[in-house]
Amino acid sequence: MLSGFGRAALDVEALWRGEPAADVQVSVFFLPRDSVPPAGTERTLFRTDAAGRATIRMAKPGKYLLNAVHLEPVEASAEAMWNSCWASLTFETSAVRP
> Which numeric CATH code is attached to 9-93?
2.60.40
Cα–Cα distance measured from residue 84 to residue 19, given in angstroms and rounded to the nearest whole number? 17
In this structure, of 47-56, 61-70, 89-98, the range with the lowest mean pLDDT score is 89-98
- Mean pLDDT along residues 64-87: 91
pLDDT of residue 7: 60
* Residue 33 banded pLDDT, cuts 50, 70, 90: confident
Cα–Cα distance measured from residue 52 to residue 22, given in angstroms and rounded to the nearest whole number? 5
Beta carbons within 10 angstroms of residue 95's beta carbon:
7
pLDDT of residue 4: 46
Q: Which burial class, exposed, middle or buried, applies to 68 when counting CB atoms under 10 A from its CB (0-12, 13-18, 19+)?
A: buried
Q: Is the pLDDT of residue 6 over 70?
A: no
- High-pLDDT (> 90) share of the chain, %: 59
